[in-house]
A and B are shown apart, each in its own frame.
Chain A
Amino acid sequence: MLKYVLQRVLFMLVALFLVSLFTFFLINSVPGGPFENPAIRPEVRLAMERRFHLDQPLIVQFGHFLRGIVTFDFGISLIVQPSRDITDILMERFPITIVLNLLSNFILVPVGFFLGSLAALKRNRFGDHAISALVVVFISVPGFVLASLMQYFLAFRLGWFPLVFSTSQNWDWDRFYSMILPVLALSFGGIAFITRFLRGELTETLNSDYMLLAKTKGLRTGQAIFRHALRNSLIPVMGMLVGIFVGILGGSIVVEEIFAIPGMGRIMINALLSHDYPLVMTTTVMYTAIALVARLLIDLSYSIVDPRVVVGGGKSAS
């Protein structure tokens, strides 16, 4: 087990290194640079470039970047929020994005589980059909379209919710209130995916022989469903959660735009467009690391929940 975890962590570091290398050269291959701006005088530009090592060969620059990452000194932003510590920027922006993500997960996981199990238990009856229709709508209409529609109808026409993110600087009620619509917009896709997937899984387990055995052993229907069917169907659903989590991290960029939320979205786009190299590299490494760690955590928890999964037992056996 420990050996397997170490192996995975090692692989993660290699992957992280390769991804940063790739991103680094890709971003440097885009013509232009952070200080290539007619408003900046050439001698100032040269001085700035020297200060941030931009005049040195790429490989040396990459070395500087790596040293920074390893020592957790991510440097300062060049353009987006000039001279500000990147750590500072992240500390200010990332919590908003992550809270948005977590709140969505808190909604979509239980709602998806509830709707999915309900659909499976009421299979081919009215409840199931109603839920299936809802799922089709949630999957068919892009999340940002739903976000726009909600903004138009619920916030603008009906005035139930604030149009945009609260300007409040604290984590107070105003802020949470203004997060409701964005969080909902981010949840719909996940709800649909979990509902559909769980319905399929649960239908299969409900018809399994071990459900019959559980019943003939004398378990009540509710007990049998809860102890055998539901628990067993949740295992494959778990694997989806990483995908949903990472998906929302990406998807929140547009929703943040729509509701003017000061999260990571705008920062990332601006950094990319303005060649703010240190900021781009730091966010890339951070997002990659999050995806990799989430993947690892899910894989490890599989081995706890499902005894058939022997951790480190070779990947090719499927």
Chain B
Amino acid sequence: MTMTMTDNILQVKNLSVEFKTFTGNVKAVRDVSFDLARGETLAIVGESGSGKSVTSKAIMGILQQNATISQGKISYSDMDLTKISQKQFSNIRGSRMAMVFQDPLSALNPVMKIGKQITESLVLSGKISKKDAPEKAMELMRAVAIPEPEKRYNQYPFQFSGGMRQRIVIACALAGDPELLICDEPTTALDVSVQSQILELIKDLQKERNLSVIFITHDMGVVAGIANRMAVMYAGKIVEIGNVDEVFYNPQHPYTWNLLAAMPDMDTGSDEKLLSIPGTPPNMLHPPVGDAFAARNKFALNIDNRLEPPMFKISDTHYAATWLLHPDAPKVEMPEVLQKRLERQKAKGVDGFGK
């Protein structure tokens, strides 16, 4: 990649995560590698069960009890997060990295006052005194645009609307002034009208504070507006990664084609069909040999059932894992529907996607 190592605040290398279940080990994340530069927003896109949330939880060190990191490294400022103790981890969490969850209602303690929840970790770690806590909480509440923080400070989560709750969760995350923010589907549980407000808020905060953000979503439409780079995950693997406009305008993996074609936009005409992806993702108890997407891939080659494809380089920043990029592979064009749409979009710019 073009960026030098020193710019990266986070580097994930060959990460694999398995879940022990009664029926066997579920391979939720398989050999995932990416890095994140300072001030950059990386979107991880995929359908549910593709391993995107598990990846983020592994980075935060909050995997479930039955999950183990079977291989790989998560390098974060000279530390390997897969190796450090829970105690060391709790020194990093909150103060250097923080997380925003999908459902703000269940993410807030229902019986603790909002203000207390925001500054809790600061007070407990002795960063601020109990006396200064209310002022700090209100300052954070102002930062996430909660009206009347003086009044709201003493209220409980159930007295807030969904969007407001998510703002509170964001305020909790920002309290320790972290440099890395992981957003795990932060808008999925919210009303459509509120979603864009929260996205704007995250975007603004990212700029103001020069945050590095990992933004997890299943919604391609959200990605274009918020991220610099994106990774597409399928069956626990990254199948395509690159700058947002590279992936959007020059997608190489058939799965990415499918995702893009399945996304409606303003100009989708009545004669134009949205593509759905046939079939279901493979059972990750026993991942198939070769390319996990082969069974659903219209363009599957024989080798897809024999050998897992490596990451093929398309540009310095753009990689995809499909045998179609092998020099010996037959040339395949992306679906016509998608091609038409891409041309239309190019005229408008990336932000036109999904709007």
Contacts and interface: CB of A to CB of B under 8 A. Distances in A.
Contacts of B247: none
Contact of B99 (A216, A232, A305, A306): A216
B110 A221 contact: no
> Chain B interface residue count: which class?
35 or more
Interface string A228-252: 1001100100000000000000000
A305 B110 CA distance: 11
Instruction: Name the prevailing secondary structure of the A interface residues.
Output: helix
A228 B109 contact: yes
B101 A231 contact: no
A91 B65 CA distance: 55
Nearest to A123: B65
A213 B112 CA distance: 13
Given A209-B101, A308-B156, A218 B95 contact: yes
B106 A227 contact: no
A218 B122 CA distance: 9
B210 interface: no
B90 A221 contact: yes
B120 A217 contact: yes
Nearest to B155: A307
A212 interface: yes
B226 interface: no
Contact of A217 (B64, B106, B173): B173
Contact of B121 (A207, A208, A219, A307): A219
A231 B125 CA distance: 20
A102 B279 CA distance: 63
B145 interface: no
Counting chain B CB atoms within 10 Å of each CB, which of A210, A217, A219, A232 scores highest?
A217
A231 B90 CA distance: 21
Given A219-B121, A219-B124, A220-B87, A213 B108 contact: yes
Interface string A293-314: 0000000000001111000000
A235 B111 contact: yes
A73 B31 CA distance: 82
Nearest to B172: A217
Contacts of B235: none
Given A210-B109, A216-B99, 15 more contacts: A209-B103, A212-B62, A213-B108, A213-B169, A217-B94, A217-B176, A218-B90, A218-B93, A218-B121, A218-B176, A219-B120, A219-B124, A227-B112, A227-B120, A231-B111
18 contacts: A209-B101, A210-B110, A212-B101, A213-B169, A215-B60, A216-B97, A217-B93, A217-B121, A218-B94, A219-B90, A219-B124, A221-B86, A223-B124, A227-B120, A228-B112, A231-B111, A307-B110, A307-B111
